[in-house]
Amino acid sequence: MTLKDAYKDKFYIGTALNAWQLMGNKPSEMHIAQSQFNSIVAENVMKSGRIQAKEGEFNFELADKFVEFGEQNNMHIHGHTLIWHSQAPRWFFTDQQGNLVSKEVLTERMKTHIFTVVGRYKGRIDSWDVVNEAIEDDGSYRNSKFYQILGEDFIKLAFKFAHQADPDAELYYNDYSMAIPSKRNGVVKMVKKLKDEGIPIHGIGMQGHIGLNHPDIKEFDKSLEAYSQLGKVMITELELSVLPSPWGDAGAELSDTYTYEDKMNPFPNGLPEDVQRQFTQRYVEFFKLFLKHSDHISRVALWGINDGNSWKNNWPVRGRTDYPLLFDRDNQAKPVVKELIELVR
């Protein structure tokens, strides 16, 4: 039994693919993608800085391979991401002198980008993260360049353009720390307002960058409840870090006992059994919660295939070794995979 077979009547079970995999250098990882998952998302190759690094020069080489792989394997294909302040190229916001451009210019650039990218994959990419990370943890709008130039309107424009470019695609707002109450309130307020104004937004993506001790699963539950009232929900970018946060919040229990250097890399010889068990239990708890809300959840997607691929190895400092995904560095399924399958059998 595979993950995708086990969850087929519940929600799509997805994974992110990275550039190395799409370039054909990682056949074993692609085999896991094919056999265990029925949905894919591009971890980096569809970001605006990759697709349109220079104005008007579009590079779709890896994005095309990504979509072709999904089609060949009959997968649900999710696009990530159209409008994100981070990783957007500088030219998007500035003129030749380096000054911020006018509302009109930025609107035109957004329109061209969204029409070109969504238009190219019309009818082939099923759903999009249209706007990524526009709300701060306190619920206010992030003061990004998009916001500085266009105010809240940039969000409406992005959804309108995406809908015009492919009226059949499902359109999502995606963000992290979505279980923090103040952020939840801010996102709910924003999405309600968009819907009241008739903006085509179909769902909310809750990024799942979780740790052993954060976030509080009860708050995650409340957020799932609240976002479900507004449309579909996706659990996006899921991985479970076992490392304490160097600034002490995320992995509070572990961080008490380790020095700063240890916190960088506390498990040089692999995961001790007790941590492995906590890891399994915590994934199981979260999947139980997803199953509780499965009527509203369209997709749950891991942010990578194996531990070696995870961005968590180099964040927040380079040189960390983390173990956050479902398959280990040798592409072996961890014990958690069997447990997750058992949950729905």
Q: Catalytic site residues?
A: 133, 237
Nearer to ligand G3I, 43 or 322 (CB): 43
Binding of ligand G3I at residue 36 (CB under 6 A)? no
Minimum gap (Å) between residue 237 Cβ and ligand G3I? 6
- Rounded CA gap, 238 and 321, in Å? 17
Nearer to ligand G3I, 46 or 67 (CB): 46
Tokens 């801010």 correspond to what residue? Answer: 186
Binding of ligand G3I at residue 25 (CB under 6 A)? no
Provide the mask over 240-279, with x wherever binding to ligand G3I is found by CB under 6 A and - wherever it is not: ----------------------------------------
Residues 148-207 that bind ligand G3I (CB under 6 A): 176, 207
Binding of ligand G3I at residue 147 (CB under 6 A)? no
- Rounded CA gap, 90 and 100, in Å? 10
Name which position in 126, 170, 237, 307 contacts ligand G3I (CB under 6 A): 237
- 176 by DSSP, 3-state: which? coil
For residue 338, report the phi and psi dihedrals to the nearest 5 degrees: -60, -40
Minimum gap (Å) between residue 132 Cβ and ligand G3I? 6
With 0-12 / 13-18 / 19 or more C-beta atoms within 10 angstroms meaning exposed / middle / buried, residue 339 is middle
Minimum gap (Å) between residue 89 Cβ and ligand G3I? 12
**122 in Cβ contact with 163 (< 8 Å):** no
Q: Is the peptide bond before 268 cis (omega within 30 degrees of 0)?
A: no
How many other CB atoms are there within 10 angstroms of residue 60's CB atom? Answer: 18
Question: In this chain, which stretch among 43-51, 151-159, 238-246, 267-275 interacts with ligand G3I, using CB under 6 A?
Answer: 43-51
Nearer to ligand G3I, 49 or 200 (CB): 49
Binding of ligand G3I at residue 307 (CB under 6 A)? no
271 sits in the region (left: phi over 0; alpha: psi -120 to 50; else beta) called beta
Minimum gap (Å) between residue 272 Cβ and ligand G3I? 26
For residue 267, report the phi and psi dihedrals to the nearest 5 degrees: -125, 65
Provide the mask over 73-102, with x wherever binding to ligand G3I is found by CB under 6 A and - wherever it is not: --------------x---------------
Minimum gap (Å) between residue 294 Cβ and ligand G3I? 24
- Rounded CA gap, 117 and 161, in Å? 11
**320 in Cβ contact with 312 (< 8 Å):** yes
Nearer to ligand G3I, 19 or 264 (CB): 19
- Rounded CA gap, 326 and 328, in Å? 7
**230 in Cβ contact with 190 (< 8 Å):** no
Binding of ligand G3I at residue 44 (CB under 6 A)? yes
Radius of gyration of the chain (CA): 20
Closest residue to ligand G3I using C-beta atoms: 311
Name which position in 164, 311, 328, 333 contacts ligand G3I (CB under 6 A): 311
Minimum gap (Å) between residue 5 Cβ and ligand G3I? 27
Minimum gap (Å) between residue 239 Cβ and ligand G3I? 9
Structure tokens at 236: 């996006």
Any residues with CB less than 8 A from the CB of 344 and at least 6 apart, and which? 6, 7, 10, 291
Of 345, 267, 336, 341, the closest CA to residue 306 belongs to 336
Nearer to ligand G3I, 129 or 170 (CB): 129
Tokens 């995870």 correspond to what residue? Answer: 310
Binding of ligand G3I at residue 43 (CB under 6 A)? yes
Question: In this chain, which stretch among 40-48, 55-63, 150-158, 283-291 interacts with ligand G3I, using CB under 6 A?
Answer: 40-48
Residues lying near ligand G3I in the complex (CB under 6 A) are found at 19, 43-44, 47, 87, 132, 176, 207, 237, 311
